[in-house]
Amino acid sequence: MREPSKIKIGEYTLEEILERHKHWLNEDCEGWENMKADLNNIDLSNANLRYVDLRYVTMCNANLSNSRLYCADLFSTDLSCVNLYGVDLNRAVLSHANLSNVNLQNADLRDAILYNSNLYNANLSCANLSNANLSCANLSNANLSCANLSNAYLSYADLSYVNLHDANLIDAKNIPYIPLACPSEGSFIAWKRVQDHLIKLNIPASAKRSSATTQKCRASKVKVLGIYTLDGEKTKLKNIVNRYEDSVIDYTVGKTVYPDSFDENRWNECSHGIHFFINKQDAINY
């Protein structure tokens, strides 16, 4: 691992730049503008940056993959679009940091403080976020598939359109209430697109149903009411077969259709069950 003091950025070391940056924030350093370096697009992959102070620094599009940032202070740092693949951010402070569109796949974020951070559209798949503080964080559209969120704090976090497929949420604290995209009880009408057709479905009152963070839902059984064109015209088709991976389901008008199984973990959005939408246009667009 390269030490921060040996990493040259122009004619100055990273350590010198950061030291001057601290003084500049306190407005007691003359000539800062002559020394101020652009940390955007910098390559610090595999660097040893443990305990480093990077508060308020802008590092857009930098490469910090597999670097060691254990206990680093990244308060209000702009890390948008940064490659943080496999980075060690254990116990790091990332409050108010801009982490939008970052790659944090396989990152170690145990016990990290991400309060009020912006993680919009971030890739956190397979990241370890156990005991992390994600309160008030913006996680909308983020990929948290297979992430470890055990014992994480999620109060007031924005989880809209988050991918939580196979995420570990055991003992996660204060998971924001996310209502089902479909009625939680009773029967209702739904729509499913298969190839270039729409299938009108009745979800029976006795069917199990779930949704994760998007408008896509799953059910344990459905009744086929009719087959339509994408323009909404009813066809004379009596059935249509949907083939997906190893699954083959025949949707026959008037019949009740069952999936191979039904996954009751609502966060596994793309898991076993009959997938459908409440809104016809959502089904068409899918």
> Which tens digits make up the pLDDT trace of 241-274?
998 877 889 999 999 999 999 999 888 888 999 9
Q: Are residues 49 and 172 in the same domain?
A: yes
Instruction: List % helix, strand, coil for the chain (3-state, nearest 5).
Output: 10, 30, 65
Are 15 and 114 found together in one domain?
no
Is residue 274 domain-resident? yes
* 163 and 50 within one domain: yes
Assess if residue 51 is contained within a domain: yes
Confidence (pLDDT) at 52: 87
Domain count, the chain: 3
Residue 119 host element (H or E) = none
In this structure, is residue 132 part of a structural domain?
yes
> CA separation (Å) from 203 to 116, 206, 207?
39, 8, 7
Decide: 188 and 278 in contact? Cβ < 8 Å: yes
Whether 250 is covered by a domain: the verdict is yes
Are 28 and 51 in the same domain? Answer: no
Give the tens place of pLDDT for each residue, 136-174: 999 999 999 999 999 999 999 999 999 998 899 989 999
We report the CATH number of the domain holding residue 69 as: 2.160.20.80
Q: Kindly tell me the sign of the dihedral angle through the C-alpha atoms of 198, 204, 209, 214.
A: positive
Structure tokens belonging to residue 279: 């809104």
Residues 269 and 225 placed together within one structural domain of the fold: yes
Q: Which of 132, 148, 178 is the last residue of a domain?
A: 178
Same domain, 95 and 204: no
Percent of the chain with pLDDT over 70: 87
DSSP H or E stretch at residue 24: helix 14-25
**Domain check: are 254 and 206 in the same one?**
yes
pLDDT digits (tens, 9 = 90+) for 173-224: 999 988 999 999 999 999 999 999 999 999 999 999 999 988 999 999 999 9
Task: Give me the count of residues in the chain.
Answer: 286
Note whether 13 and 30 are same-domain residues.
yes
Residues 244 and 114 in one domain: no
Residue 217's domain comprises 188-285
Q: Is 14 left (phi over 0), alpha (psi -120 to 50) or beta?
A: alpha
Provide φ and ψ at 15, rounded to 5°. Answer: -60, -45
Choose the final residue of a domain: 138, 156, 178. Answer: 178
In-domain check, residue 183? no
